[in-house]
């Protein structure tokens, strides 16, 4: 390493100078520990709530340049994958690092297809939920319950076992998700059909009624596949960090995926698409938009849902693709009545100084909800639709973490702000 690739720090408390190596644009936080104000001092730490400027891992999976609006999986631009790939091929790419050749893809598709079936006992778990249980709550519980059927899953360092669980999880996500929906609407469970593609099979299990064979509409099947590709991974976001953090305890992947799905459920993450539709419905008409924008700008807790991103500060490349997909879906389903409100809201926000100054642009969730709604998915299912493909990203990241010799159990530090040591106070001596 050239000596210029270092950072010189002078600690003004002691007058001592330290030289820390800079590698890949980072310094190692642990190198700061040697900087002490005295013998009793623990050593310097960084304070970084919400990980605003901390790289928690080295990863070769997904690349994002937020300023330029670039998203790549294993080097392939998201635009090319959305146009030319399928979700299953993309999942293979994320997990294995390379696109499959023809026979590898065939085998992968076959394996996933033949693992979509669930153990019948799992239906008992679903049946115990109330009719109005949120499908995301059911999904999280079902993923966890699924893991109990495969006790060998805890052998996470056995490559064969690990791969088997990855196949099972990716395959069974669509079945669990669709069964949750059928429970919610009181319809009999529709079983997987091995003749169908991954998204086609999901639509089959969601919507099949009395027909002998369900035929998904090819345009809607493709639209769903593109949405799955766009949602498959997004490097170290909230749910993926949860996946890595939980997985770092060496728990089985079902438990870790259940935890990651719980993180995804929140309205600032995978729940945002649901919130977008609620917001557009609440706005109700184009004439109400200026008033709504005023409330957002007043900062009284109202946010323009589907806008803004921690990383993208130019545009979200997924939003561009999704907008195009939305029109392809509306050609089949008819236009969403909320589309005009969304378009006008986007136009006003993109011109408004408040949003421009803060670099707030439509994100992946701004249009995905409109597509899902047009495809007859109830709003509660939106985060589930995000979780289905993200499982391949979570598992890719989890596997990478397990094989990374730099990684250990995740254990952040804290700055303690509580009471100094004090003696226990008996009940009779406590203040009223
Ligand atoms: N509407 C109005 N103001 C906003 C919004 C918004 N959607 N997002 C950020 N701001 C403001 C925020 O109030 C702050 O203003 P100020 O500087 O005056 O305090 C400024 O913009 C910077 O925002 P921030 O909260 O520091 O940004 P962040 O990086 O912490 O948050 C975010 C990113 C996605 C959580 C946030 O933009 C947000 O809550 N957006 C709405 C929810 C949403 O659409 N989430 C989906 C994210 S994309 C899918 C995914 O990956 O999960």
Could you tell me the residue range of the domain that residue 103 belongs to? 97-267+379-402
| Same domain flag for 123 and 248 | yes
From ligand 1's centre to the CA of 321, what distance in Å?
21
Inter-CA distances, 333 with 83, 178, 206, 372, 390, Å? 21, 21, 17, 11, 26
Would you say residue 63 lies in a domain? Answer: no
Inter-CA distances, 305 with 22, 66, 337, 350, 353, Å? 38, 19, 18, 14, 17
| Same domain flag for 128 and 259 | yes
The C-alpha angle with vertex 408 and arms to 391 and 98, in degrees rounded to 5, equals 40
Catalytically active residues, by annotation: 269, 309, 365
Residue 138 CA to residue 146 CA, distance in Å, equals 12
Ligand 1 and 296: CB distance under 6 A: yes
Q: What is the pLDDT of residues 13-53, one digit of tens each?
A: 999 999 999 999 999 999 999 999 999 999 999 999 999 99
pLDDT at 268: 87
Residue 223 CA to residue 173 CA, distance in Å, equals 18
From ligand 1's centre to the CA of 310, what distance in Å?
7
HSE-up of residue 282 (Cα within 13 Å, Cβ side)? 14
Would you say residue 368 lies in a domain? Answer: yes
- Closest by alpha carbon to 131, among 74, 180, 199? 180
The burial of 104, by beta-carbon neighbours within 10 Å (0-12 exposed, 13-18 middle, 19 or more buried), is given as middle
| Same domain flag for 191 and 168 | yes
Would you say residue 336 lies in a domain? Answer: yes
**3 state SS of 72:** strand
| Same domain flag for 171 and 305 | no
Q: What is the pLDDT of residues 185-215, one digit of tens each?
A: 999 999 999 999 999 999 999 999 999 999 9
What is the DSSP track for 254-279?
A: HHHHHHHHHHHTSTTTTTHHHHHHHH
Ligand 1 and 307: CB distance under 6 A: yes
- Mean pLDDT score, 69-82: 97
- 1, pLDDT greater than 70: no
Ligand 1 and 234: CB distance under 6 A: yes
User: 380: part of which helix (H) or strand (E)?
Assistant: none
Ligand 1 and 269: CB distance under 6 A: yes
- Mean pLDDT score, 277-296: 95
Both tokens of 261, joined, read 């799905």
Would you say residue 306 lies in a domain? Answer: yes
Ligand 1 and 304: CB distance under 6 A: yes
| Same domain flag for 202 and 298 | no
CB atoms within 10 A of CB 62: 22
From ligand 1's centre to the CA of 309, what distance in Å?
6
- 3, pLDDT greater than 80: no
CB atoms within 10 A of CB 272: 25
Q: What is the pLDDT of residues 370-421, one digit of tens each?
A: 999 999 999 999 999 999 999 999 999 999 999 999 999 999 999 999 999 9
Ligand 1 pocket mutation, candidates 264, 276, 308, criterion most atoms within 8 A of CB = 308
Ligand 1 and 356: CB distance under 6 A: no
Would you say residue 110 lies in a domain? Answer: yes
| Same domain flag for 257 and 336 | no
From ligand 1's centre to the CA of 22, what distance in Å?
31
Pairing of strands 6-11, 62-65: unpaired
Nearest residue (CA) to ligand 1, atom 13: 299
| Same domain flag for 206 and 168 | yes
Nearest residue (CA) to ligand 1, atom 40: 308
Contact (CB, 8 A) for 340 and 247: no
Ligand 1 and 364: CB distance under 6 A: yes
The C-alpha angle with vertex 300 and arms to 295 and 303, in degrees rounded to 5, equals 65
Specify the number of domains making up the chain.
Answer: 2
Nearest residue (CA) to ligand 1, atom 29: 310
| Same domain flag for 222 and 306 | no
Residue 64 CA to residue 191 CA, distance in Å, equals 38
User: 182: part of which helix (H) or strand (E)?
Assistant: helix 159-185
| Same domain flag for 185 and 318 | no
Q: What is the pLDDT of residues 148-193, one digit of tens each?
A: 999 999 999 999 999 999 999 999 999 999 999 999 999 999 999 9
Nearest residue (CA) to ligand 1, atom 35: 268
């Amino acid at each position: 390493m050239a000596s210029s690739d270092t950072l010189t720090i002078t600690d003004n408390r002691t007058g001592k100078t330290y030289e820390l190596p800079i590698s890949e644009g980072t310094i190692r936080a642990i190198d700061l520990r040697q900087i002490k104000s005295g013998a009793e001092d623990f050593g310097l730490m960084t304070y970084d709530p919400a990980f605003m400027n901390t790289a928690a891992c080295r990863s070769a999976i997904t690349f994002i340049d937020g300023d330029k609006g670039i998203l790549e999986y294993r080097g392939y631009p998201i635009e090319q994958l959305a146009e030319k790939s399928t979700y299953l091929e993309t999942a293979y790419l994320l997990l294995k690092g390379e696109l499959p050749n023809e026979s590898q893809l065939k085998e992968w598709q076959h394996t996933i297809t033949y693992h979509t079936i669930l153990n019948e006992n799992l239906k008992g778990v679903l049946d115990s939920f109330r009719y109005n249980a949120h499908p995301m709550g059911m999904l999280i519980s079902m993923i966890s319950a699924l893991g109990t059927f495969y006790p060998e899953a805890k052998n996470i360092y056995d490559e064969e076992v690990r791969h088997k669980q990855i196949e099972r999880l990716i395959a069974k996500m669509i079945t669990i998700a669709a069964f949750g929906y059928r429970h919610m609407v009181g319809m009999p469970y529709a079983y997987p059909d091995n003749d169908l593609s991954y998204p086609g099979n999901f639509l089959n299990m969601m919507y099949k009624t009395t027909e002998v064979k369900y035929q998904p509409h090819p345009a809607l099947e493709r639209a769903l596949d593109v949405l799955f590709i766009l949602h498959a991974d997004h490097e170290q976001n909230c749910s993926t960090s949860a996946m890595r953090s939980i997985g770092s305890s060496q728990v089985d992947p079902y438990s870790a995926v259940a935890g990651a799905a719980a993180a995804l459920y929140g309205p600032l993450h995978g729940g945002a698409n649901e919130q977008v539709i609620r917001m557009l419905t609440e706005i109700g008409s184009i004439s109400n938009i200026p008033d709504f924008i005023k409330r957002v700008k007043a900062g009284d807790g109202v946010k323009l849902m589907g806008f803004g991103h921690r990383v993208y500060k130019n545009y979200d490349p997924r939003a561009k693709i999704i907008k195009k997909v939305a029109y392809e879906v509306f050609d089949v389903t008819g236009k969403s009545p909320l589309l005009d409100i969304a378009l006008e809201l986007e136009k006003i926000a993109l011109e408004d100084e408040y949003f421009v100054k803060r670099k707030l642009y439509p994100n992946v969730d701004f249009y995905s909800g409109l597509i899902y709604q047009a495809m007859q998915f109830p709003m509660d299912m939106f985060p589930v639709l995000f979780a289905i493909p993200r499982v391949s990203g979570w598992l890719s990241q989890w596997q990478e973490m397990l094989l990374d010799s730099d990684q250990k159990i995740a254990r952040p530090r804290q700055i303690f702000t509580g009471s100094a040591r004090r003696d226990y106070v008996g009940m009779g001596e406590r203040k009223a």
